[in-house]
Amino acid sequence: MPDLTPLRSSADFRLLWLQGVVTYFGSFMALIALPLQIKELTGSPLAVGAMGAVELVPLIVFGLYGGALADAVDRRKVILGTEAGLGLLALVLLVNAVLPDPLLWPLYLVAGGVSALAGLQRPALDSLMARIVPHDQQTAAAALNALRWQFGAITGPAVAGLVVAYAGHATAYSVTIVTFAVSVLLCLRLTPAPPVRENAKPSLRGIAEGAAYAWSRPVLLGTYAVDMVAMFFAFPNTIFPFLADELDAEWSLGLMYAAGSVGSLLLGLTSGWTSRVRRHGLFVVFGAAVWGLAIAAAGWFASVWPVLVCLAVAGAGDTLSGLGRSTIWNQTIPEELRGRLAGIEVLSYSVGPQLGQVRAGAMAGWTGTRTAIWSGGVACVASVALLTTALPKLLTYDSRTDEDAVRRRAQQQALPRSPEPESGSLGPEASPSGAGSGASGD
């Protein structure tokens, strides 16, 4: 069974976990509705895949800036401001959807805006985990976070497919707006998270300092590189609508989007054993290899049910690799660099899928949908093997003996613990008015 210790030991982690359950459900509703709407308006796999290109530049720019911002300001305010902004972008989708003739360009505009806000938010959110969860509970926290993501990834696409089919895109976007409103209310109760020491304002020099640290750590480089190549070569989600058509199983589209999360959920529900593992680099490599092999197999089958099984296995492998990456990051990176390195992490696990969408869409138009899927899976496995050979320290990482992990453990133990919030009270520092004014400034 999952290790629930982080939920019991940290009030802020409980709040963020619940907030994630709510907002992931709404986000996945929009994640399915948006490409479906582009498909209906254009009928082109390349047009759907172009979402990745539109999202890429904002993600890179704002992801790096968001990492520097997370080291310089209150991370809670960053999370609040970006959640509110994402809700407003969902409102734009709703307005466009209710037009007699919905426009195409607002869909790409919102996709770029979501990417920018996600780039700003994720470094603050990810770096906060390293502060509010004790060092030896990081793997358990990562597993619990994977469970909440899987809940949204399973229920969101499954419900979105039905909602779009029977109630239209506008209803799906309305649900998304409501979930972001609830998310903002939950985030208002978080304990303020100012920098542990006075840092300079976000700058290129600060970003370069974080990049130099990452470049000097082969283990970190391995986690970034493995994830990027796995997603670039074997992320076929954007062409699932066309795969469903080719398999004569249009009804299975929601299941295709949810299948990977079913496998992730099964791994998460049996993840208690992962808290006892100390060789987390093995998780990264083995999980990525399983992901690639399963995606390759999914491209070979001409029947929808074996494809769904393969996608579920791929999801389990991806989650295992993600547990290893998250644990290594939170166990080794110093607090004063945590935000900037979290910005680099955003690029490592987000740029790959964005470019992967473009690759999958372009190759599907050129060679066919199934060929684009299986060839990408084969390329993923080959690339992971090459990277493992080039960066052997990733495989030998051990949290008990790694110098950075030992140093980070001592640093976290020296940090003051955040006070537990009083039940039923926002507290003077967490009042809605105070948070709102600060978040807008960030």
The torsion angles phi and psi of 26, rounded to 5 degrees, stand at -65, -40
Q: Is 250 exposed, middle or buried (0-12, 13-18, 19+ CB in 10 A)?
A: exposed
> DSSP letters of 22-59?
HHHHHHHHHHHHHHHHHHHHH--HHHHHHHHHHHHHHH
Of 83, 104, 99, the closest CA to residue 41 belongs to 104
Of 284, 300, 237, the closest CA to residue 45 belongs to 237
Q: What pLDDT is recorded for position 426?
A: 27
Q: pLDDT digits over 7-62, tens only? A: 988 999 999 999 988 888 888 888 888 888 888 888 887 788 788 778 888 988 89
Question: Radius of gyration (Cα) for the chain, nearest Å?
Answer: 21
Question: Which residues of the chain carry a pLDDT beneath 70?
Answer: 196-200, 411-442
Half-sphere exposure of 122 (CA within 13 A, CB side): 23
Q: Are 106 and 93 within 8 A, CB to CB?
A: yes
Q: Are 78 and 121 within 8 A, CB to CB?
A: yes
Please state, in angstroms and rounded to a whole number, the distance separating the CA atoms of residues 67 and 211. 11
Please state, in angstroms and rounded to a whole number, the distance separating the CA atoms of residues 281 and 300. 30
Q: Are 286 and 320 within 8 A, CB to CB?
A: yes
Q: What pLDDT is recorded for position 83?
A: 94
Alpha helices in 73-98 (DSSP H): 75-97
Q: pLDDT digits over 190-247, tens only? A: 998 888 666 667 778 888 888 899 889 999 999 999 999 999 999 988 888 888 888 8
Write the CB contacts of 319 (distance below 8 Å, at least 6 apart in sequence): 146, 150, 263, 264, 267, 268, 287
Q: Which amino acid is at 84?
A: A
CA–centroid distance for 219 within its chain: 20
Please state, in angstroms and rounded to a whole number, the distance separating the CA atoms of residues 438 and 196. 18
Please state, in angstroms and rounded to a whole number, the distance separating the CA atoms of residues 433 and 21. 25
